[in-house]
Every structure is written in structure tokens, then in C-alpha cells.
A and B are shown apart, each in its own frame.
Chain A
């Protein structure tokens, strides 16, 4: 509410004059956290309503975001922020519920697997209880159901199923008019997330085929095979959605290419820290100028700009440190960087870069 009022230009200007903050609505946040944490304005507060066990290492958190949250489309993800031992931590997770649940009941769900050694996922699993508040950002992401409807093939692995569950539920509610196939890879059948929901959807809707494949239950690991794709009748006419570990995504990409599925039909989203692309070590690194701080340092190898800045004693803002949340985005004024995730080489001109995934190639200047 307050955030909405202050969005009007005149009020925003006045708020900035009075509070000296670029986001004047959050000036009262320190008091609001005590009075009613759902009134905090810096992020959208979401109250944890229920926590449900999905598998041994996966929980679903049912959240009730403040009503000013602008909603989402099936397949999108969201940044959450929590404070752990005094430090604000941002992480990105897929929304696992359908937007219909948000519209009808004001609820959304996040289905989160405990990552070994993961700071935030372990904290969420061990410390979060109903009644607690978690901060939400606005939903984003382009992993969306095609419009108009097209035949679809989903290939999901592990907790990469979460955005797919949201999409399948949404499509089922609309009586999606085209065939949909899901190949769902799990380690063992005990690791199936949302198994009951998937079974129920498949039994109610004849156009939906769900195939759960356990990779680690036989002596030989049972990964995605060519036959799995060949059995799908009209493979070439399908939109293909990939979400899972990098190994599965790479394998799927290769098998699909072999079968003539073109890149414009393949949609993928990361669900875990993607492994860095292989970068040629010899040409990486260079003199980095942090213009605002008036600091110049040399760098070697595949150190990213965020690490280089921190090693030089600077403390730029950051979030996920894996190229997702854009908290660390800033202006590169000159020089070439390589995207650590994709291996893509940037132009040499001025543009926004994400510090955490940008590796300098030669001299680079950024506004930090």
C-alpha cells in the first residue's frame, strides 16, 4: 500500500526529500519489522503458512505474500531474501504452485531441496517455521507455457521438476488442448517430488503422459536415452522444456539436436548453480578499473569481477553469486568480459554486466 502510494511521482520525490532514501517507502521498515513485519516495504514480505515434507531432503513451503505482490506466470522464479546471522542472503527458487492458487487463495509454494553444505537451503530446512516472514522479490523468468498451445515435451531432473509442476497444474486447469509428455528423472523412486499430484493430473487428463525414470536403481545408471525421445510421436513439432542438473540438460540438448529439434524450440532454466563454462585460461584476466572507488587491480585466470573487487577490499552489492538475481549488476564502461555461465564474449562498449559471472578478458573498467 505505502509502496503503491509512493510510486506516484510527486510523492516519490517528496519522500526522497524527507527521508534521503531512494526507496522512501522503506524508511519506516526498521519500525515495521517490530509492529507488523508484513508492512515492510523494501521487499514483499511473505508469511510461512505451512511447511510440508515432499521427500527426505525436500520441503514445500506454503507462503502468503503481502497482497501488493504482483503475481507470476507458471514456470517463473522468484528471489527470496532472508537474514542469517545478520547477513542478508538472496537466493532464487522456482515457484512450484500454479498462479491459480495465488489468484484464488493468495498463496504460493516454493519446493526446496536441501543442498549439502548450502547455507540458505539448510537454514530454510532447519530454522523456518510457520508464522515466520521471508522476503520475496517480483517473479521473473522466460520459462513459460507457449501461447497459443503447442505440443510439449518436458524433461526434468530432481528438484528441477518444481517449475514444471506449476506449469502442468496450470495447463490442466485450462484443459490444455495439445499433447504433453513429461520425462522425469530421479535418483530413486523415493526422491520423486509431487508424485501424487503428477499421478492425479495424468489420470484425469488423457493428453498428459508422465514417465518417471529412476537413474540409480539399477546397476548401470539409467540416464536419458535416444529411445526415450524416439517413442514420442511428433517430437519435432514439440516445444521442449529442460530443467535439471547440467549433465541431464547437456545430454538432452545433444540427443534432441541429433533428432533434428532446433534450438528455437528448446527452452531451459537453471535450477542449481550452473557449472562454469570451460574458459580458455590463457586469455583471461587483465587490469580492472573500479572507477567509482578509484581502484585499479590486475587479475589472472577465471576470477570474476565480484571476486576481484572483494579481493581489492571493495564491497559491491551482491546477491546469489551465480548470475541469477542481478543484485550485483552494474555498468561496464569499457573492456571485454566473458560470461562465466555461457562462455559468451561481451562487446567492448558500455553495457550492464553482472559482476559475479563476468570474467575480464583484457583491461576492463566498471562503475563500482
Chain B
């Protein structure tokens, strides 16, 4: 990681704080209008998808219905749920948009998400051993994790994780790796499992029981469409999230270097541990503006649609302090993610030899 001394870190902190303060002072009707417009779009797409789905025996209608419901779920999870739960809209004082009471349309309970994502991941970003989002305990993505033979099949794990992403995220707090290592007992996880079963049951009931049964004669079509919509959301959100921290140049950190860190050091870690991807306006909206992962990690509770507006200022701060700003096209960034998953599935000996051969391109 780029090293800055305490004075430089303090300056970095002040520079970023002033960007944040400027946005905070300007929050108002424009932001309220934006999120309400997205919510209206979500409601329209969800209702549209649900209404069209029973007519899915007509192939183009099936595609439209599935896409409509899938995009609705993406918008709700990424641009609405994730961002609302970060407290980005708490200042609106709207009980339906409050970070601590919002519940979203996915298997993971909002409470579990607030603990594992808002607290663990955003505090200990990319600290190996503390940020359990780094590889989700099923992938090896850094050489600080020791290679084991089963890692060689981790590409299969990756595909499974992406396909079943909402269930994986829902079970994240189970800490299966710690159960496996017998550091914690199943008994400790009972309250969590109860909540997981309730929310997972609710989501499965809605998409796989209630709506198919409601339209009984065409139940298989509705069931298939709903599975398709969930799959679209799973693949997309998994891909976006992987592009945020697992790209080629996104850095990782050790527990030791983060002990008792200052706010400035935390900022530095967020800047260097995250990566952006570029694209059109709708790509950003559908990613919940996690395409601006760097801005999001520096300012997780500023309304996400503001990230494009402050990106230039954040880049200027990075340039000023000589900190790399990791950005590239969606395709390029995702390519480096796949590359990373593949490379770290190999034993270190093989990997370093491969990297040695391609060293000129590597960095």
C-alpha cells in the first residue's frame, strides 16, 4: 500500500472531509426526488413483471416479464435497499426509507446485512482475516490465504456462489468457516439461523409458492420466470460486487497494519482497496452506483447518485497525494477479477511462475 505519514494522512482526511461536508450541506429536494423516482420505477417494474408473468406462455412476454422482475429486484437491492440501509437517506426522516428499519427483497435479513456489510466489511475493508467479504470464505484471492488443494476447484465455487448469490449472502453471517474449524458452535448460531429461515422462507414463499399458486394453470411458467428473475439479480449483483474489491490492483491489508489506525489511514485503505468501473448512466444506476465503489467506500452514507458528481474531486485528491485510483471499463475490470480467481486457485509455485512469465503486463 502507498505509505503516507501521519501529517499526510491528516491532510488526506481533511481533503476528503471537505468533499463530504459540501455534499451534506447541499442535500435536499433533488436527492429526495431522485430516490423516489427510482422507487416508482421499481414498483412499476415489479408490478409489470408480476402482471405479465402469467402470460409468459407467449415467449416474448416471458422474456419481458422475467427481465422486468429481474431488473426490479436489481434496483431494489442495489440502488434502493443497499443504499437506504447505509443511512444515505436517513436525513429525509421518512420512516419507509430509514436505515435501521428498512427490509429488502432478498434472502439476507436487513439486520444481518447491517452487521456483516455496513459494520464488518465497511470498517475492515480488505483486511484479510477480518473482512469476511474478501472471498466470502469460499474463495482464495490473496497469497495471505494459504493454498489448499481444494482451492484448485474454486472456479466452480465462484460459479455456484454467483448463481445462488442471495442465499450465499443470506448465510454469510453463519461463519461456516469458523464452524468448520470448530471456533464457534452451531448452538451460538441458532438465533441467526432462525432469522435466516424466516426471511429465506418469506422470499421463497413469495416467488416460488405464492405467485405460482395464484396463477395455478400457468404455475410452472410463473415459477420459471420468478427463478429467472432471481437468477438475473444474483448474477448481476455478484458480478458488480466482485468488481468492487477483487480486481487486479485492489489492495489487501493485514490486521497488523490497521491496528489503531487513524481516520486518514482508514480513508487511504478505502481508496486503495476499492475499484471502479466506467459505463453509461444506466449501468451506474443498476449497479446501485457501486460502479463508483471508491467513492462509496470513502463516503458510504452519502446518497449514491452523488458519487458521479464528486468523482472528479476524489480523483483530484488521489492525484494530489499520489494514491492510485483504480478504474477501468466494466469488461476490463471483470476480466481481472476472473483472472484473479483463476490465478489464486493455483498452487503458489505454479502461480508465481505464470506471473513471472507475464510480469511485464502484470503491473
Chain A interface residues (CB < 8 Å from chain B): 14, 17-18, 20-23, 26-31, 33-34, 42, 83, 85-90, 292, 315-319
B104 on the interface (CB 8 Å rule)? yes
Residue numbers in A under 8 Å from B92 (CB-CB): 86-88
Q: Are A30 and B36 closer than 8 Å at their CB atoms?
A: yes
- Secondary structure type dominating chain A contacts: mixed
B98 within 8 A of A: yes
Please name the residue on chain A nearest to B31 by beta carbon.
A86
Nearest B residue to A368 via CB reads B100
A179 CA to B29 CA, complexed, in Å: 52
Cα(A327)–Cα(B71), bound, Å: 34
B43 pairs with A31, CB closer than 8 A: yes
Q: Does B91 contact A (CB under 8 A)?
A: yes
User: Which residues from chain B contact A22 at a C-beta distance below 8 Å?
Assistant: 101, 103
Contact indicator B205/A87 (Cβ below 8 Å) = no
B360 interface residue per 8 A CB criterion:
no
B95 x A42 contact (CB < 8 A) = yes
Complex contacts, B205 vs chain A, CB 8 Å? 17
Residue pair B104, A20 in contact (C-beta under 8 Å): yes
Q: Which of A20, A27, A28 is most buried by chain B, counting CB atoms within 10 A of its CB?
A: A20
B52-65 interface mask toward A, CB cutoff 8 Å, 1 = contact, 0 = none?
Answer: 00000000000000
Cα separation A251 to B105 with both chains bound (whole Å): 57
Q: A17-B210, A21-B96, A42-B96 are in contact. Are A86 and B29 (CB under 8 A)?
A: yes
A137 to chain B, nearest CB (A): 12
Number of A-B contacts (CB under 8 A): 67
Residues of B within 8 A of A319 (CB): 93
The verdict on B179 contacting chain A, using a C-beta distance below 8 Å, is no
Q: Which residues of B contact A292 (CB under 8 A)?
A: 100
Taking A21-B96, A87-B28, A88-B92 as given, write out 14 further A-B residue pairs in contact, using a Cβ cutoff of 8 Å, ordered by the A residue number.
A17-B210, A26-B96, A29-B96, A30-B36, A31-B44, A85-B29, A86-B27, A86-B28, A86-B31, A87-B32, A88-B94, A315-B91, A317-B93, A317-B95
List residues of chain A with CB within 8 A of the CB of B103: 20-22
A sample of 8 cross-chain residue pairs with beta-carbon separation below 8 angstroms, ordered by A number, consists of A20-B202, A22-B103, A29-B96, A30-B43, A31-B44, A85-B28, A88-B92, A315-B99
Measured between beta carbons, the chain B residues less than 8 angstroms from A30 are 36, 39-40, 43
Residue count of chain B within 8 Å CB distance of chain A: 31
- Kindly identify, within residues 93 to 123 of chain B, every residue whose CB is under 8 Å from any CB belonging to chain A: 93-96, 98-101, 103-105
Bound Cα distance from A21 to B27, whole angstroms = 26
B178 at the A interface (CB under 8 A): no
B263 CB to closest chain A CB (Å) equals 12
B99 — nearest CB in chain A belongs to which residue?
Answer: A315
Q: A18-B206, A86-B27, A87-B91 given as contacts; is B98 within 8 A of A317 (CB)?
A: yes
Contact of A89 among B93, B99, B202 (CB under 8 A): B93
Whether a CB of chain A sits under 8 angstroms from the CB of B244 is: no
B195 touches A (CB below 8 Å): no
Is A17 in contact with B100, judged by CB distance below 8 angstroms? no
Query: How close is B88's CB to chain A, nearest CB, in angstroms?
Result: 11
A18 to B101, CA, bound (A): 16
- Confirm or deny: B90 has a beta carbon within 8 angstroms of a beta carbon on chain A: yes
- Once the chains are docked, how many angstroms separate the CA of A42 from the CA of B105? 20
- Taking a contact as CB atoms under 8 Å apart, the answer to whether B30 and A86 are in contact is yes
Cβ–Cβ contact A27 & B43, under 8 A? yes
Give the most central of A23, A27, A86, A88: most B CB within 10 Å: A86
CA–CA, A317 and B95, complex, Å: 7
Closest residue of chain A to B104 (Cβ to Cβ) is: A20
B95: chain A residues within 8 A (beta carbon): 42, 317
Instruction: Tell me if B87 counts as interface (CB < 8 A to partner A).
Output: yes
Contacts of B99 in A (CB 8 A): 315
From known contacts A21-B96, A85-B28, A86-B29, infer whether A28 and B90 are also in contact, taking CB-CB under 8 Å: no
Is B28 within 8 A of A88, CB to CB? no
Provide the residues of chain B in CB contact with A18, threshold 8 Å: 206, 210
The docked-state distance in angstroms from the alpha carbon of A58 to that of B261 is 56
What is the CB-to-nearest-CB distance from B90 to chain A, in angstroms, rounded to a whole number?
4
Most chain A CB within a 10 A radius of its CB, from B28, B39, B94, B101: B94
A242, B210: Cα distance in complex, Å: 56
